[in-house]
Amino acid sequence: MTTLADQLRLLLPPVSYDGTAPYLSATIEAEANAMILAEEQANSIYNAIFPDTGEGLSDWERVLALPDSCLIDQSQTVGQRVQAVVSKLQGRAGQSKAFFIALAKSMGYDITITTFRPANAGMARAGDSLNGGDWNFAWRINAPAVTTSSARAGTASAGDPLAAWGNKPLECRLNQLKPAESILLFGYGDY
């Protein structure tokens, strides 16, 4: 395999310069090393632009004020921290059920949302819930009883568990972004 220094030597005029001369060879090696370092730094900066790569994670968390105040006492894996950054960036655009389902999906949760409507004469049947008062503003977030966040190669770091369980990040983020008048109820398991 040809190194970058070897490729630079091939660019020298063959008669005028001896690429194996000690001083010239050391200069070419230094230039090749500087070019390799510049490329690695450029790739690192480029990757930090995209939060889902995990590069520059601490900067993304600082800019987005993460972890959320309701998660300060919770330990999170690098993967969960990346999901929190991505979901916070995506969480600035809507209040529909579809938006919240997509937001939860970006955090690694598969949910559905149940809304309640008041009973109306002519539409309600015997045994139906009346759902009056505050029930008009209630949403039930239906999620699996156990949501597992597994470590992935490339995003996990030393010391991270291979798997993490819990729904606290979901509850925290949805409660932050819910419409002001809404009441969120969380149902886990069979729904």
Per-chain mean pLDDT for the chain: 83
Beta strands at 138-143 and 183-188: parallel, antiparallel or unpaired:
parallel
pLDDT the model gives residue 1 = 63
Number of CB atoms found within 10 A of residue 139's CB: 19
| pLDDT(111) > 90 | yes
Residue with tokens 């409660």: 175
Residue 70 dihedral angles phi and psi, to the nearest 5°: -80, 0
| pLDDT(155) > 70 | no
pLDDT the model gives residue 41 = 94
Each residue's pLDDT tens digit, 115-128: 887 767 777 677 76
pLDDT the model gives residue 69 = 82
pLDDT the model gives residue 168 = 84
What span, in angstroms and rounded, lies between the C-alpha atoms of 179 and 184? 10
* Rounded mean pLDDT, 14-33: 91
68, two tokens: 């959320």
Each residue's pLDDT tens digit, 34-89: 999 999 999 989 988 988 888 889 999 999 888 888 888 778 888 888 888 888 88
Type of residue found at 168: K
Confidence tier at 113 by pLDDT (50, 70, 90): very high
Of the candidates 187, 169, 11, the one whose C-alpha atom is nearest the C-alpha of residue 80 is: 169
* Rounded mean pLDDT, 136-161: 74
pLDDT the model gives residue 81 = 87
Are the C-beta atoms of residues 161 and 78 closer than 8 Å to each other? no
